[in-house]
Amino acid sequence: MIIELDMQSDVPIYTQLVNQIIEGIASGRLKLGEPLPSVRSLASDIGINLHTVNKAYTLLKQDGYIQVHRQRGVVVDPNGMPPVTEEFMIKQHNQLKPIVAEAICRGMNKQQLMDLLEQIHQEITKTDSEKENA
C-alpha cells in the first residue's frame, strides 16, 4: 500500500495516516490479517516521526482495525472489522454535519450530495480489475 501524506495540510499527519489505512482496508488493498510495517519502519519509509506513526497505530488499535502482536507485529485485524455501533453512528453524524452544512451554503442540493457520496463509495469499493478498465 502506498501512503501519500500532505505535509502542508491542516489535517494532522497521524490523522492522514489513520484515514489512508482505513481506506486501504475498505478498498480491499489491505486484507484481513495482512501485516503492516513496524512503527519504526513505516516512519523511516515515509519520513515522519515514529511517535506520529505510533499515535496512528494506537488509534487504529483502539477502534478495532489492527492488532499488535509481540511475535507477528502489526496486522490488520484478522477477526474482521469493528461493527457499526450507536457510538460510531453519532461520530459519523458529527463529522458529516459540518460538511453537509457547507455544501448547502454553497448551493448543493440533496441529490448532488447523494451523488457525491455514491461516487466516493464506488471509488473506494471498486475492484482492481474495475479500476484497470476505467
In order, the DSSP letters of the chain are ------TTSSS-HHHHHHHHHHHHHHHTSS-TT-B---HHHHHHHHT--HHHHHHHHHHHHHTTSEEEETTTEEEE-TT-PPP--HHHHHHHHHHHHHHHHHHHHTT--HHHHHHHHHHHHHHHH--HHHHHH-
pLDDT of 134? 56
Residue that terminates a domain, selected from 52, 76, 100: 76
Is 64 within a domain? yes
CATH of the domain at 25: 1.10.10.10
In-domain check, residue 1: no
Q: What confidence score (pLDDT) does residue 70 get? A: 83
Q: How far is it, in rounded angstroms, from Cα 49 to Cα 4?
A: 15
Q: Is residue 7 assigned to a domain?
A: no
Between CA 54 and CA 127 the distance in angstroms is: 30
Domain of 125?
A: 86-133
User: Cell 454535519, residue?
Assistant: 97
Same structural domain, 21 and 69? yes
Query: Under 8 Å CB-to-CB from 108, ≥6 apart: which residues?
Result: 116
Q: What are phi and psi of 9, to 5 degrees?
A: -70, 155
67 and 92 housed in the same domain: no
CB-count burial class (<10 Å; 0-12, 13-18, 19+) for 109: exposed
List the chain pLDDT tens, one digit each, 134 residues: 688 999 999 999 999 999 999 999 999 999 999 999 999 999 999 999 999 999 999 999 999 999 998 888 999 999 988 999 999 999 999 999 999 999 999 999 999 999 999 999 999 998 655 555 55
Answer yes or no: do 21 and 49 share one domain. Answer: yes
pLDDT at 122: 95
